[in-house]
């Protein structure tokens, strides 16, 4: 079945360092979404990418969708303690509400 792999599983950084998480799908995606889940919380929608090669920025966060629409990345510049949490990518296929989530990358930021 369709799988979405996400690496790394964990990342510990010093505040101010950059952070990147990568997402790879076994099949071509119609869109990819990114979510953040704080400890004890629920996933919160960050962004959706639809177009091949698309790049979107939200302040210190940069999201990319690969040319083949099978991979994506999230890069955070100059991490802050407020960035702590688990970042999930989720792939959508076709005209469907079904999302396949990656396993998530848990980010710890040391002040």
Partner 1 sequence: KAGVTQTPRYLIKTRGQQVTLSCSPISGHRSVSWYQQTPGQGLQFLFEYFSETQRNKGNFPGRFSGRQFSNSRSEMNVSTLELGDSALYLCASSPRDRGYEQYFGPGTRLTVT
Q: Which residues bind partner 1 (CB under 8 A)?
A: 1, 31, 33, 35, 41-45, 48, 88, 90, 92, 95-104
Residue 41 CB, shortest distance to partner 1, in Å, is 8
Structure tokens at 54: 């698309």
Which residue, 77 or 106, is less far from partner 1 as judged by CB?
106
Residue 98 CB, shortest distance to partner 1, in Å, is 4
**Alpha carbon distance 88, 57 (integer Å):** 17
Which residue, 9 or 81, is less far from partner 1 as judged by CB?
9
Which residue, 14 or 96, is less far from partner 1 as judged by CB?
96
Which residue, 42 or 59, is less far from partner 1 as judged by CB?
42
Residue 87 CB, shortest distance to partner 1, in Å, is 12
- In order, the DSSP letters of 20-71 are EEEEEESS--SEEEEEEE-TTS--EEEEEE-STT-EEEETTEEEEE-TTSSE
Q: Are 6 and 107 contacting, i.e. CB atoms less than 8 angstroms apart?
A: no
Residue 83 CB, shortest distance to partner 1, in Å, is 19
Q: Are 90 and 103 contacting, i.e. CB atoms less than 8 angstroms apart?
A: no
């Amino acid at each position: 079945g369709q799988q979405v792999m996400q690496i790394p599983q964990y990342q510990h950084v010093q505040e101010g360092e950059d952070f990147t998480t990568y997402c790879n799908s076994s099949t071509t995606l119609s869109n990819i979404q990114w979510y953040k889940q704080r400890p004890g919380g629920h996933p919160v929608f960050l962004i959706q990418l639809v177009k091949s090669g698309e790049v979107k920025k939200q302040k210190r966060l940069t999201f990319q969708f690969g040319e083949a629409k099978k991979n994506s990345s999230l890069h955070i510049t100059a991490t802050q303690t407020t960035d702590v949490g688990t970042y999930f990518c989720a792939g959508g296929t076709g005209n469907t509400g079904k999302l396949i989530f990656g396993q998530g990358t848990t980010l710890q930021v040391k002040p």
